[in-house]
Amino acid sequence: MPLLSTKYESASLLAASGNTSEAGIELSVLTRRGNPVTGLDSANFSFASGSVVPPGGTALEIKNVVELPAVGGYNLLVAPHHGHPWKSGVYIEFLQVARDTKRGHEVVKLEIP
């Protein structure tokens, strides 16, 4: 069992095929005992290299992280790497979260219309 557990929901927001708008991943990060993990920022989150190649062949990057205070919730705003436009389809990425020596991960799925 990972030292940090995660659960997520994703939404395309304004992201659509052909544009570079950000999509959202809502993520909760909890300790093994179910306590919220707070105080994380963009340095604590990353997409693993070697994830499934998404439509258009470009991986995702994290543009911004907004913490939802006191509940261990985070809104990750993501977009295709290097400013490439979105392609219609399903993006599957291996999202990692780390704090000190504690780590967790989640396979996230994001559908772009």
Answer with the residue of higher pLDDT: 15 or 54.
15
- Say whether 82 sits in a helix, a strand or coil: helix
For the chain, the average pLDDT equals 86
Distance of alpha carbon 80 from alpha carbon 51, whole angstroms: 13
Q: Which residue segments constitute the domains of the chain, with CATH numbers given? A: 4-112 (2.60.40.10)
- One-letter amino acid for residue 54 of the chain: P
Q: Tell me, what's the pLDDT at 65?
A: 96
Backbone angles phi, psi at 39, to 5 degrees: 80, 15
Name beta bridge partners: 11: 24
User: pLDDT, tens digit, for every residue of 27-62?
Assistant: 999 888 888 999 999 999 999 866 566 666 678 899
Q: Is the pLDDT of residue 3 over 70?
A: no
- Say whether 110 sits in a helix, a strand or coil: strand
Q: Tell me, what's the pLDDT at 2?
A: 57
Distance of alpha carbon 54 from alpha carbon 77, whole angstroms: 17
Answer with the residue of higher pLDDT: 56 or 98.
98
